[in-house]
Structure formats: structure tokens, C-alpha cells
Structure 1
């Protein structure tokens, strides 16, 4: 009897423990602050890893550029007697044998130009990494702000739905008391249903926001558990002066990368022109010529050869190099112009976002709350119709949602301008081998 009691107690304990432990579908929330999200992205983000691989490839290319032409070794034998045993190398069959080595010597500073071009390409690739870093920070900030907005929207829509249910219960009691028409009750029921639909929509937006941030953090498995920690950043804005904008245009990583590619294109032009300088190939040969079976003769010879540019004088290569350099210069100017326009636009957007936020927070939202409160009191006393009451409630909801959206827009506009003005350049380091 006592054994069965022990078994039942053990089973109940295991079931209770299983019920309270989190399953895969009921995992704990993972809180992440804005600063922590940026830190995690800098160590995990896949785009940054791709950019680092590009640096490693560009660094390897500098080794190829610095390489000298390899010599060529040739060994040959003539006048082999096929009637004798071909495997009898120690036989007395008279043969001629040669050993020859060829070495090409580059002229026209081709190696130095290759190294300079590869070095400029490596610099541009490192600056591409810095620009990817800048854009990643901005993307993480925007994703964090979107998640913060989605969380607030879920909370606000849940409150709105709860209030709508409470108002609906009040309307039903008034309807049962004969103080409210069926048409007005239907309006309250439709309003409560819309509020519940708003909660579902907000929850879907929250899922998308969590997924977007999880992808940037390279943590897709736990993306749906992400929860923001901390409040919105400061509301105060500081607009950049002319000197700050000028510095950003000339010193931002993408501008510097384009400048480095112009330098690489110039070196490529020099390399294409240097191809018209003839390289020299020097050959050294040792030859063994047996005069007879007992007295062989040995000889040493050399050869110098240069190419004759009779069919191709590399005019096409030179013109292509000049065209590529002009393209690189045009791209540099386009980046500078785009940066100028981008900063001007972001300054205007930040000003407008700040004005909109303050207008909603300080004027529209308080006015909507006063109107809704007065409408609720008037409706409870039968002074206004259900339609007027619901209209006041909808105005309040719209004001609350618009204020939340304006706060997110202000934070994102501030982050976008900060990223546009960012000129942080990481220290040059050779990639780990």
C-alpha cells in the first residue's frame, strides 16, 4: 500500500515540475538594451563578417602583387638510341642533354605599381568595413526603436481593448434597462471588436520587429523572445553646423573608400602604361655534347630575349584604365553629392520630427484626453449620443498612437543624422591568419 502511495506522489511531483518548467515554446524573455544590441551586433552581425572576409581577400591580393616572376627550369635530352635499352641510363649510348633556366625581369616599375594598386584596394576594403559598421549601427538602432514602438503599441492597444470591453458592458446594461437603442449597442460592439483586432495587428507587428532585430544580431533562434530594456533616448536635438557637415562629407568612410579607389585606378593607369616597357627574359643553358664515347664535351650558353610589340601595343588596356579611373572619380563626386543631400534631408526630417512630437505630446494628446474625459462624463449622464462618445474615444486613440509613432520617428531621425555624420575609422589591423 505504501509503495503505491509513493509512486502516486512521485508521479504528481514530476507532473507539477513539468508544468512549471519552461518549454521550448514558453521560454524566458531576453531583455536587450540599445547599447547591448549594438555591442552584440558588432560581434555577431553577418554583414560585418562578410566585410571582414573581403579585407582578408584584399590583404592576400597584396601578396600576389608583391610577387616576382617565377623562373622556369627545363631539362632535355637528344639523340637517344632507341635500339638500345631506353632504361639503361648508365649505358655508353652517346646522347645530348641540356639544362636551361629562364628568368624574366620586369621593367617600368610594374611590381611597385601593382603593390600600390593592391594597397589602395586594401585601404578601400577596410574603409568599406567601417562604412558597413556605420550602417549596421544605424540598422540596429532603427530595429530597436521599431521593437520599442511595437511593444508600446501592444500595451496601448490592450488597454484600449480592455476599456472598450468595459464600455461595452456598460452599454449592455443601459440597453437592458431600455436607456440605449439596439443600433447604439451595435456601435459599441463593433468598436470593441475593432479594438481586439487592433491588439492582434499590434502583436503581428511586434513579431516582425523582434524578427528584424534578431536577424541583425544573428540570433534568429531567440528572436521572438527579445524584449527591449530601457527608455527612449533623450528628446533634445542638436543640429550640426557647417563645419561638421563639411567634415562628414570629406571624412566619412564611404567617401574615403571612394577616394582610395580613385588612387587605385590611377595606379592601374600607370600599370597599363608600364606594359609598353619591355620586360627582359634572361636564359642560361648548360649542354653536354659527347664527341665520342670516351671524351664528352660540355658547353655553357646564355640568351636574352625581349618582346616585339608588333601586334599589340596595349592601347586598349590603357584606354580602359583611363575610363575606369574616370568612372572612379565620377563615383567619388556622386558619393559626396549624395552625402550632402542626405545630411540636408536628415536635418530637415529631424526638425520636423521634433516639432511633430512636441505638438502631439504637448497639445494634441492633452486636448484629446480632456475631450474624451468630458465625453465619457456626458455620455454617462445621457447628454450626448453613443456616436459622439465613440468619436471622442477614437480621437483619443488616434492621438495616443500618433504620439507613440512620433516618438519613434524622432528617435530614428536622430539616429539617422548621427549615422550620416559619423566619421569613425577603425584602426588598421591585418586580418588574423
Structure 2
């Protein structure tokens, strides 16, 4: 029993445990997938969460093992057998000495109680790991979801740009036929049209890759090509709401899991020390020998002499495990602090960047492109100037879409980091 319990403790200390109780199956259409629907699908089909469920089951099994008491042992022995004088009659009349014995180990030093406390602390850690696993999966889902949303928007922008370039090329060819424009300028416009078409085709390929990544998380591997997300882009706020980072860190699931493992290691150290409190084995036996009028009874007690092993190594290993758990807690708190600070900085910068595109860059680039189109149509500017304006407009549109996607990821990630326990 001690060997099984020690092996279970090793696995639990060595591997962070996640727990997950799968909700009921969710039926949604991949052709119009909202973020809420994607979250529901992820909770059901995430392979990482399903694997974490096996870990919590192992923690629960370890708790059962920890509460188990030593089993009694029963033995039946025969002695004083003389093959030359076996005796007549039934088996009970044979000239043999028969002993029936029952032995029971009685644990001392609160070993069972310490095992239970250790296992309970690890179960607490596994419960906290559940929330942490869900937090990590949610953040990964936001990234994958908005990758698809960005890719869909990029397809539309690049397709519109390719159509606009083709229309401009046709107009330029008409002007060339009328002798109103040089052939070299038309050639430049044709090259730009081909580039725009290549960008549109590449956007389709990028969207396919993004859909495959999202489909894996949602268990829709066979329907990846049919996935189309309905993105409700969050709008940037004018200011960020201040938060108490210290309080957030203290209630983070990964920090709570590390704290629970420190407590488990502390209880395990006491369990290792309790091995120096000797367990005793009590035995009761009944003896039968033919010829005696009555059966005889016997009682025995045994306990180990700590002459060869005083469990110094086990105690030292438990102390090292406690120090390692405390080091891991400090590391987890530091990593949590850094993650929150980075997330806060990313949210602030992405918010400012998106506002800049929405209020300044996009309107300015649009006005510049419209002016260039009008000027080229009336012979006021060259094709080179027109192409520069078009490229700038396309680039600004894609950058603005990227800024919108980055802000959506940052905003949802920040909300998850600051609200989930």
C-alpha cells in the first residue's frame, strides 16, 4: 500500500493536474460560428481538457488509496508431521499440529491521517489546475478564432483590391487605345493587378490554415473547410479600468495549485517523519493438536527495530520535495506577475493602435486614394503615383484589420486573466 501511495504521489507532484467535466454535446453550424459557440465546442471537444480529466481521476484514486487501512493477513500452517506415524481417522484426528493465525498491522504516528491530508491537498491542486487549463485553452481559442476572423476579412479586402485593380487596368487600357496614356504606365498597372490577384489567392490559403487550427480545438477536423466565424469585434474603450494585480495573482488558479502542492509536500514530509514511529503487528492464533482435550490460543505482537534504516533518506527526499514545491510557487507567482503585466501592456498598446487607425490613418489613406484615382482619371498624376496610393490604401486596410484582431485577442485574454479564478 505504501508503494502504491508513494508512486501516486510522485506522479501527482511531478505532473500538474488538470480536471475537466465535459458538458453535454453542443450542436452548432460551422458555417456561422460565434465566439460563444466556439467556447462551448471547445469545452466539449478540447483534447487537452479531455486528457486533464484522466489526471483528476488519478488524483481521486490516490485519495481513495490514501484512506485505505492495512489489510489483515490470515495464515494456516501445519507442523509436527511424522510420515511414519501419520495417525488414523479423519483429518482432525491425524497426528499433525494445525495453527490458524490472523495478523493485523496497526499504524501509529498518524500515518493514515497524514496520507489523507496529502492526497486532499493534491486534489485541491487538481481542482485549481482545472481552472488554469480552461484559462489557457480559452486564450488559445481566442487567438485561433480571431485568426480565422482576420483571415476572412483579409480575403474580402484583397478580393476588393484585386477587383479595383482590374477595373483600373481596364480603364487604363481604354486610355491607351485612345492614345491618352503611355504603354509603360499600362504595363505597370497590369503588374500591380497581378500582384493584387496573388495577394487575394494567398489570403484564401492563409484562411484555410487558420480554419484547420481552429477546427482542431473544436473537434471539427472533418469540417475545417466549412468553418466561417461571425466576429463581433470589440470596440476600444477610451481608458483602461485599473485593477489590483496582487489580488488577481493571489486568486489565479495556477498560483492556488502551486500553494496546494506546497501544503501537500508539507504533509508528505510529516508522513515521512512518521515512519520513525513504529507500526505494530498484532497476531491471534488458534492451535489444534489431536490428543489434547482443548484447542489452544495464542497472541503475539511484533514491531520493527530501526537498526538498519531510520528513514533518513525518505525524510530528506520529502524535505527536498517541499523546497522544490516552495520554489515552484515563487516561480509561478513571478510568471503570473509577468504575464499580467505583459497582457496589460499589450491591451493598452493595441487599444491605442486601433484607435489611431480608426480615427486617423484609415480616413486619411482613403482620402488620399480617392484623390489619386480622380487625379489619374483626369490626367493630373501618373500611373506610378496612382499605384503608390493604391498600395498604401491596401496596406493601411490590412494593418487596421490586424490592429482590430490584435485588440480583440488582447481584450479577451485580459478579461480571462483578470476574471477567472
Structure-2-length-normalised TM-score: 0.88
Taking the TM superposition and a 5 Å limit, the aligned residue runs for 1:147-166 are 147-166=148-167
**Which residue in the other structure is 1:105 paired with?**
106
Aligned residues of 2:236 and 2:355 also touching (Cα < 8 A): no
Q: By how many angstroms is 1:220 displaced?
A: 1.2
**Which residue in the other structure is 1:25 paired with?**
none
Taking the TM superposition and a 5 Å limit, the aligned residue runs for 1:308-347 are 308-347=305-344
**Which residue in the other structure is 2:378 paired with?**
381
Q: By how many angstroms is 1:52 displaced?
A: 2.2
- Aligned partners of 1:285 and 1:172: how far apart in 2? 111
Residues 237 and 304 from structure 1, CA distance in 2 versus in 1: closer, same or farther, beyond 3 angstroms? farther
**Which residue in the other structure is 2:347 paired with?**
350
Q: By how many angstroms is 1:75 displaced?
A: 0.6
Is residue 2:285 matched to residue 1:288?
no
- Aligned partners of 2:273 and 2:265: how far apart in 1? 12
User: Deviation string for 1:144-194 (max 9, x for gaps)?
Assistant: 211111111101111011111111112222233333333322211211111
Q: By how many angstroms is 1:352 displaced?
A: 0.9
**Which residue in the other structure is 1:430 paired with?**
none
Q: By how many angstroms is 1:326 displaced?
A: 1.0
Aligned residues of 1:272 and 1:317 also touching (Cα < 8 A): yes
Aligned residues of 2:135 and 2:416 also touching (Cα < 8 A): yes
Q: By how many angstroms is 1:379 displaced?
A: 1.1
User: Deviation string for 1:222-245 (max 9, x for gaps)?
Assistant: 222111124212322653435x32
Aligned residues of 2:282 and 2:299 also touching (Cα < 8 A): yes
**Which residue in the other structure is 1:202 paired with?**
203
Q: By how many angstroms is 1:383 displaced?
A: 2.0
Aligned residues of 1:281 and 1:305 also touching (Cα < 8 A): yes
What stretches of structure 2 of length at least 5 have no aligned partner?
A: 1-28
Tell me, what secondary structure is at the counterpart of 2:350?
helix
- Aligned partners of 1:240 and 1:331: how far apart in 2? 31
Q: By how many angstroms is 1:251 displaced?
A: 0.4
Residues 335 and 239 from structure 1, CA distance in 2 versus in 1: closer, same or farther, beyond 3 angstroms? farther
- Aligned partners of 1:319 and 1:41: how far apart in 2? 43
Q: By how many angstroms is 1:79 displaced?
A: 3.6
Residues 364 and 52 from structure 1, CA distance in 2 versus in 1: closer, same or farther, beyond 3 angstroms? same
- Aligned partners of 2:152 and 2:167: how far apart in 1? 23
Aligned residues of 1:252 and 1:422 also touching (Cα < 8 A): no
Q: Which moved more, 1:177-186 or 1:201-210?
A: 177-186
**Which residue in the other structure is 2:227 paired with?**
226
Structure-1-length-normalised TM-score: 0.86
Tell me, what secondary structure is at the counterpart of 2:76?
strand
Aligned residues of 1:58 and 1:121 also touching (Cα < 8 A): yes
**Which residue in the other structure is 2:186 paired with?**
185
Q: After the TM superposition, which segments of 4 or more aligned residues of structure 1 sit over 4 Å from their partners? A: 81-86
**Which residue in the other structure is 1:5 paired with?**
none
Is residue 2:143 matched to residue 1:119?
no
Q: By how many angstroms is 1:287 displaced?
A: 1.4
**Which residue in the other structure is 2:52 paired with?**
51
Tell me, what secondary structure is at the counterpart of 2:207?
helix
**Which residue in the other structure is 1:19 paired with?**
none
Residues 124 and 163 from structure 1, CA distance in 2 versus in 1: closer, same or farther, beyond 3 angstroms? same
- Aligned partners of 1:273 and 1:62: how far apart in 2? 20
Aligned residues of 1:339 and 1:420 also touching (Cα < 8 A): no
Aligned residues of 1:135 and 1:419 also touching (Cα < 8 A): no
User: Deviation string for 1:214-272 (max 9, x for gaps)?
Assistant: 11111211222111124212322653435x32211100111111111010000001001
Q: Which entry has the higher C-alpha Rg, 1 or 2? A: 1
Aligned residues of 1:117 and 1:263 also touching (Cα < 8 A): yes
Number of residues of Structure 1 aligned to a counterpart in Structure 2: 393
Is residue 2:141 matched to residue 1:140?
yes
Residues 95 and 344 from structure 1, CA distance in 2 versus in 1: closer, same or farther, beyond 3 angstroms? same
Tell me, what secondary structure is at the counterpart of 1:30?
helix
Residues 282 and 350 from structure 1, CA distance in 2 versus in 1: closer, same or farther, beyond 3 angstroms? same
Is residue 2:391 matched to residue 1:394?
yes
Q: Which moved more, 1:299-308 or 1:90-99?
A: 90-99
Q: Which moved more, 1:57-66 or 1:134-143?
A: 134-143
Taking the TM superposition and a 5 Å limit, the aligned residue runs for 1:237-276 are 239-242=240-243, 244-276=244-276
**Which residue in the other structure is 1:365 paired with?**
362
- Aligned partners of 2:91 and 2:285: how far apart in 1? 23
Aligned residues of 1:368 and 1:395 also touching (Cα < 8 A): yes
- Aligned partners of 2:130 and 2:190: how far apart in 1? 56
